[in-house]
Homo-oligomer: A and B are copies of this chain.
Amino acid sequence: MTESIYIGRTILPQLQQVLQNLAFSKVAVLVDENTLHHCYPLVKSHLPEHDIIQINSGEEHKTLQTCEYIWQRMTELNLDRWSVLVNLGGGVIGDMGGFCAATFKRGMYFVQVPTTLLAQVDASVGGKTGIDFHGLKNHIGVYKEPHAVIIDPTFLNTLPQRQLKSGYAEIIKHWLIADATAFEEQRHIGLFTENWEALIRHSVGIKSAVVEEDPLEAGYRKVLNFGHTVGHAIESYLLEQPGRELLHGEAIAVGMLCEAFLSVKKDLLNRRELDQIETFMVSIYEKVKITEEDIQALSQLALQDKKNTRSTINCTLLQGIGKAVWDQPVTLAEIQESLRYYQLL
């Protein structure tokens, strides 16, 4: 785990010290209306003098247009390369704020303060920044490590159950790709925990270890994409259908089931293991209704996935629970088949 990731319930007071270590010129805090209301009050007293940049919440605002607004505000506030942007929020704030900071005057400081479980165990670690573009998830972005990540489980108290479940999907993913023992324990315990801090620390540990070995996703880092080929496609597709939008983790939960099915089909996972995953996931996540028409349309989106090469769909699959293999070619027909499997669950 990189030294710049701080985890704990008493970590916020260290924020001021972390910033001071950067010898910053100015500080701005990026929030949306939710984090301004629920999270900013917890952070405010631990920040030096600062300005606020507020945007609208939601994946539908993770766009170039919002970046233009953020860059404009940064310019008005006279931020320079030695200023710090504190990204206070979930994955959208972290990804987009990180991208805006990484590109403003060719790069200023930024610090991630993730406030959702999803952002704490996934988006804030690993240096991926970006925005959606014409309906394609994280289509434009850069790799850039934040200068620090401050993870305080206290924020989770403000989070609706649906948001917690969404983040929990990435925790499950980390078990499935890297820790069979933890999965075995948890699938008997069932949903959730009394000790978020320990769970987050374990999950961030898995992700950090992967990222450290392969920061630019040349190979090994792709294990983290398990569930994301089908998951991103379904997420992008339903984002365009008012009333049907899924949270990221909800889409990844569907994607993991589909891709576990594909793992069985490719003889990498056995049927008993798939059953265990199925039972555990179905106990936590509501079924997402998809029609045959949906399957036709959303499987096309899998062709635009960033992980693909030369029009082959590359998928990360499970080689038994606790291990993943990447760049597994799958066909459009197989993607559709996996969605029909999910449909029939």
Contacts from A to B (Cβ < 8 Å): 25, 64, 68, 71-72, 75, 78, 80-82, 102-107, 128, 130, 133-134, 136, 138-143, 216, 303-304, 306, 308-311
Give the most central of A25, A102, A139: most B CB within 10 Å: A139
Of B71, B75, B107, B136, which one neighbours A75 at CB under 8 angstroms?
Answer: B136
A78 pairs with B128, CB closer than 8 A: no
Closest 6 CB pairs of A and B: A105-B306, A106-B141, A25-B310, A103-B140, A82-B309, A103-B142
A142 pairs with B142, CB closer than 8 A: yes
Of B75, B143, B306, which one neighbours A133 at CB under 8 angstroms?
Answer: B75
Chain B residues lying within 8 Å of A104, measured Cβ to Cβ, are 139-140
**Nearest neighbor of A100 in chain B, beta-carbon distance:** B140
Chain B residues lying within 8 Å of A130, measured Cβ to Cβ, are 106
Measured in the bound complex, the distance between the Cα atoms of B342 and A201 in whole Å is 62
B106 pairs with A143, CB closer than 8 A: yes
Q: Copies of this chain, how many?
A: 2
Supply 6 A–B pairs (Cβ within 8 Å), ascending by A. Answer: A64-B64, A80-B308, A80-B310, A81-B309, A104-B139, A106-B142
Chain B residues lying within 8 Å of A107, measured Cβ to Cβ, are 142-143, 216
B134 pairs with A72, CB closer than 8 A: yes
CB distance from A68 to the nearest CB of B (A): 6
Measured in the bound complex, the distance between the Cα atoms of B102 and A226 in whole Å is 25
Of B71, B216, B303, which one neighbours A139 at CB under 8 angstroms?
Answer: B71
B142 pairs with A102, CB closer than 8 A: yes
Measured in the bound complex, the distance between the Cα atoms of B125 and A317 in whole Å is 41
**Nearest neighbor of A25 in chain B, beta-carbon distance:** B310
Chain B residues lying within 8 Å of A143, measured Cβ to Cβ, are 106-107
**Nearest neighbor of A131 in chain B, beta-carbon distance:** B103
Chain B residues lying within 8 Å of A82, measured Cβ to Cβ, are 309-310
Of B71, B134, B306, B308, which one neighbours A140 at CB under 8 angstroms?
Answer: B71
Chain B residues lying within 8 Å of A134, measured Cβ to Cβ, are 72, 75
Chain B residues lying within 8 Å of A64, measured Cβ to Cβ, are 64, 68
Q: Please judge, given known A-B contacts A104-B140, A105-B139, A139-B105, whether A133 and B71 are in contact too, CB under 8 Å.
A: yes
Chain B residues lying within 8 Å of A308, measured Cβ to Cβ, are 80
**Nearest neighbor of A138 in chain B, beta-carbon distance:** B106
